[in-house]
Structure 1
Amino acid sequence: MISFDNVNKGKLYWILQFFGWCSFFVIFSLITASFAGFQWQVFAGHLNTVVVGFLLTHFYRSYIKRNEWVRLGIFRLALSVLAACFIIASIWALIVLPINRIFFPVENDQELTPLIVVIVVLNLSIITLGWSLIYFLFQVFINFKKSEVEKWKLEAAVKDAELIALKSQVNPHFIFNSLNNIRSLVIENPEKARDMITHLSGLLRYSIQFNNMERVSLEHELEIVQNYLNLESIQFEDRLQYKLEIKPETLDLKIPPMAIQLLVENAIKHGISNLPEGGQINIRSYLENNILNVEVINTGQLVKCNDSTGIGLQNASNRLKLLFGKLSDLKIQNLDSNFVSAKFTIPLNE
């Protein structure tokens, strides 16, 4: 597809103007020669007409651009074009008719009559009108392509803005809770407090480095998930256990940043935190039919919570759709009476 932002419109105009008038010269010279024979006067007369038409339409274009006719309404533009065509045709006829009389001498004392002049002016007006239609249709085509490009740019900007907004909607309560836990552990258990600070700093470093990216490798995403789980494990103590079942071939594949972390956060918030005995989280990744499957399985049951906004899960789903289209999917369901599965898929050919 042509990018009209990068087209040299001046150069394109001269190419079209030159080849257009050359085609006009060849076609009408051949038509006239088929009736009057191949005489040099025929070619000279048409060459005179074409050269004058070339110059007049060029000045006509300059006038159109200077007065910004493309901004006129359709009715006003039509009237302006019709008037301009008549004026240009009159000037055109005034120039070419005397010159062409040199190449086509008057026979039998036949002089130019008003009727002949009117016919010539009308013919030249039609030619000028045809030139005008081609010019303005081409302008409409260019403006249409420009509007399409602007629409694509706007859609891309909206998509980027949506992604940035979604990435920025990370639950701040987790950070506040972690800081409160660290504060309480500073005196009671300084070593555990240091561990929490280490994991929290890793989490924040990841959010700064990778949250501005559309996609990150699964391996990098798992680093933040492990920091998050380590922080939560300190808070839940023995009530939280986790396991990673990651296929090596999936580690370099790209996913939206914070996608797994949001699912793990949801599993802890709505699943394990509600169980007095706690539970476990399993994170799995594997390839199937050229599709990356990522699954977070947690202890608990999927129930509808009236006090839950579901923003985190909606963010994860929206990120997947924005980045990978409708082929990506996020499903949450009860596996059995003890476990819940949150799973998303990403096609590798996208």
Structure 2
Amino acid sequence: MKKLLTNDEFNRALLSLSKEYDIYAPVTLPFKGTFSDTDLVKYEKITKLEEINLKDKSYYSAKEILLPIRQTIFYFNENEFKKPEGRTKKALVLLRSCDLHAIERVDNIYLNNKFADEYYADAKKMVKFAVIGCPGKGWESCFCASMGTNTTENYNLGLTFKDGAVYTHIKDEELNEFFNDGKEEEFQMEFVTENVEKVTVPENIKLEDIINDEMWRDYDRCIKCGRCNFVCPTCTCFTTQDIFNRDNSKTGERRRVWASCHVDGFSTMAGGHEFRQKSGDRMRFKVMHKISDYKKRFGTHMCIGCGRCDDACPEYISYINCINKLSKKLGDNNE
């Protein structure tokens, strides 16, 4: 079903939806940014159109709705353990095309690998996705067109905000009942067709050809903060923590918490042996995973071209420049 709604009609639909769904969208949190006078754009619950930030790219992706930063796996005492109750209310997530592609990448890790992760699977069953169009060339650090993630049809609800109205494409029958207002109208999603940044990904990379290359020493200036991993919508690594209750050390909970391949200790083995001690080697590991290793298993690049890693790095390390530099070095640049 394709409909054109006024802003007021769309708000009525959101209000009706919010009774059955938690609705998540990028919102502006004033003075919560990197510096005291900057804002932060991240995913939060909303109930009306005016709360949504349609202008700026979110600093964090929608990944944490399905894969929380900190998640309790089970509670335990000396005799038994108990899995916590999962999401009880359905969710509708408003996101861009690239971020929906990112969810599909995470699905491969947690659902289509050797076994399915039950926590992620339970959460995914409760979530529907509404794609917001991206007019123009996206943002300065975006390169989704190079990665083929600039368009998608795999949404439950398509949304285009234009000329003070909301164009909708409702593909999920369960959502139809919430959009009673409006009139039938042709729908055209505004997808990015070209970015300012362009990336050429080298194909058929052989690790032995680049593992000891001096280019990785350029990235030893990385301070191992892990920001690039935490803002990345396709980074899926975590560590586990056992938290014991202060009043009774025989009870507590086990959590999984986001982790980063750039941070010290992530790859420490028994006996204290540490793989990839140099920051540049960790950069190589991440890059190879994003553009080579993942594709060998699942058939698509893991990177979706959102550019958040470039935005977040305090050392101004550019993943975009790294990929293009690697491509030129391997002779795969077609420019």
* TM-score for both structures, normalised by structure 1: 0.20
**Larger strand fraction of residues:** 2
**Larger helix fraction of residues:** 1
Structure with bigger RCO (C-alpha 8 Å, 6+ apart): 2
Larger radius of gyration: 1
